[in-house]
Homo-oligomer: A and B are copies of this chain.
């Protein structure tokens, strides 16, 4: 959903806009857009850091693409990313051995991995959880109860290597169904149910329906994925006393605050045994060096697909977006009165 679609579409994007942009330029554009709607500069910069990081890592659904998707009011004041980051550094990440820090009154917080990585870059184990609007059906059910409630864990390896698990507790995130829709493709069996709770491979019906929890059907232990989604909700809405489960507003509504909850954990591994980073890298390299089933598809560790994408961006000298997105952002720039992206 694009909340600004109607207003932006008064403008027509010129033909032939470039699709590749340097990350600094993308950052500049986000800051300009945000400050143009009265967001203080530190918050605008913090949000730009977060969104650019998502695009660099190849998670385009959580990057620049989000700018048009935040509601008008959200864009202005409710994006609390800056506060999140400031609080995290002041409290959670100045840990003794372990800190747990849940927050309420939040909104879509971007990629969960961002916060976990903020800790791992300081040599800590970092975890991050968020509840989200209902989209995932419990095993045996027909309607959604929980959101895609992601879990992230980042752990430092040697020489900048790291493990970054950043996963929705559903089989796939809503973004993957959206992409299949845009491409006019179907979705694999076992991803989604339609609005009536029946399994579907039609992307449009899936987008209008619900997602299955990680594992899929009962035979393949989908209840474990749902249990993990519950775990995230316990650490977020249940622990804090904020909205949880189906009490969370539908994400297409902007008549009341999102009021999402998030939870952050930081653990200092040096307290337990020296050499954590070495063991971490050893285990990751062991995994990467295993014989793959198909030679062209090496075994990867959580965080490796994102690392490969960052290398690609570096080699190509910029982040490449879909032309539809660029046209859309050009219209947003005109609507907000800021300089469009330039290559």
Contact = CB atoms under 8 A, between A and B. Distances in A.
How many chain copies does the complex carry?
Answer: 2
A105 interface: no
A241 B188 contact: no
A227 B145 contact: no
Contacts of A139: 299-300
B221 A214 contact: yes
B302 A230 contact: yes
B299 A138 contact: yes
B215 A140 contact: no
Nearest to A221: B171
Contacts of A246: 286
Interface in A40-99: 97-99
Contacts of A188: 219-220
Given A171-B215, A224-B214, A280 B234 contact: yes
Contact of A98 (B98, B190, B224): B98
A318 interface: no
Interface in A215-250: 215-216, 219-221, 223-225, 227-228, 230-231, 233-234, 237-241, 244-246
Contacts of A224: 165, 167, 214
Given A140-B297, A197-B293, 19 more contacts: A97-B100, A139-B299, A140-B292, A142-B292, A153-B227, A153-B234, A171-B215, A190-B220, A214-B214, A223-B300, A230-B301, A230-B302, A238-B276, A238-B283, A239-B273, A240-B272, A240-B273, A241-B272, A241-B279
Interface of A: 97-100, 102, 125, 138-143, 145, 151, 153, 155, 163, 165, 167, 171-172, 188, 190-191, 197, 214-216, 219-221, 223-225, 227-228, 230-231, 233-234, 237-241, 244-246, 267, 269, 272-276, 279-280, 283, 286-287, 290-294, 297-302
